Amino acid sequence: MLLNCPHCNAAIPGTEINIPDNIAKCAECNQVFRISDAVDGSFNNEHKTHLMMPQGIEVVPGLQLDIKLKWRLISRVRSYFIIGTMFTVIPLVGIVALTSNHQELPFFVPFILGLFLLIGVYFLFKAISFLINTTYLSVTAFELRSEHRPINFLGWKNLQFSRDQVAQLYVERYEESRTNDRANYAYNVLVFLKSKEIVKLISGLKNPRVAFYLEHQIEKYMGLKDRPMEGEYIPGQRDPRLIMQVAKQLEKMPAFLQRIVKDKLEKEQ
């Protein structure tokens, strides 16, 4: 279901949705309303607000909210160690074998072994960083600060934002890797600034519950109202804001394309 009436919550069929004009009509209560109002009004954030504190997070509430993220508990440390070890040991064995035989080899063989070795070293550094690092978040009604300690191999930035700078926080999902042609997803907590800039506050989380918990707690302490954002990850359902994206794209397109979209919306009900 893509759109509901903001007055009676009835499903709106595709034939009653006028995308280019941003209006729709409810067949149940005959109310005419803006699509954008219905999209914002139907935003459900229970997947954030009804969460227990996930493993790997320590929260100290008080005059300010202090959050500790222990990366060894919330990241894929073991996987990174395995990948790093494989990509490091195999090239080293190959290099030792090649140098002991004193045979002439094509130039690309040392290049490939060196490339594998660099990949292995990168994953080992990543694993070590996740193993020993902790991220500290400090949140008040006036500012948000993040700091990574004790060693920052990955170049994570320590950040600081005032309340006047921050418009919204939200979570995005991205494909980190693939295993047997199946996507392995990771999650970022993003800060959307009033200057329209988007900054990664926390990146590479493997558990979406950690990301949602952080977003909700930070927004609550900073007094930010949770609003839907373009590109935000909402688990278990399609993002209703796609309607508005389609509206912008089809605004100047021929009427037959608008009819196709309406037919598709009606089939989705």
Mean pLDDT by 10 residues, the chain (269 residues): 66 74 82 70 66 85 86 87 90 77 70 88 89 92 92 80 94 87 90 94 91 93 86 68 56 65 57
Distance CA 191, CA 67 (A): 17
Q: Buried (b) or exposed (e) across 95-114, using 16+ Cβ within 10 A?
A: eeeeeeeeeeeeeeeeeebe
Residue 9 pLDDT: 66
State residue 212's pLDDT score: 93
For residue 51, report the phi and psi dihedrals to the nearest 5 degrees.
-100, 140
The pLDDT value given to residue 103: 64
**pLDDT score recorded for residue 79:** 86
Question: What's the token pair of residue 78?
Answer: 């073991």
| Measured torsion, CA atoms of residues 206, 211, 213, 217, in degrees rounded to the nearest 10 | 150
Task: Provide the pLDDT for residue 269.
Answer: 46
pLDDT at 195: 93
Alpha-helical (H) ranges within the chain are 35-41, 46-49, 71-74, 77-101, 108-132, 208-222, 242-250, 255-268
Report the distance separating Cα 199 and Cα 156, nearest Å: 12
pLDDT for res 145: 95
Give the pLDDT score at 142.
92
170-195 CB burial, b ≥16 within 10 A, e <16: bbbbeeeeeeeeeeeebbbbbbbeee
Provide the whole-model pTM: 0.67
What local confidence, expressed as pLDDT, does residue 96 receive? 77
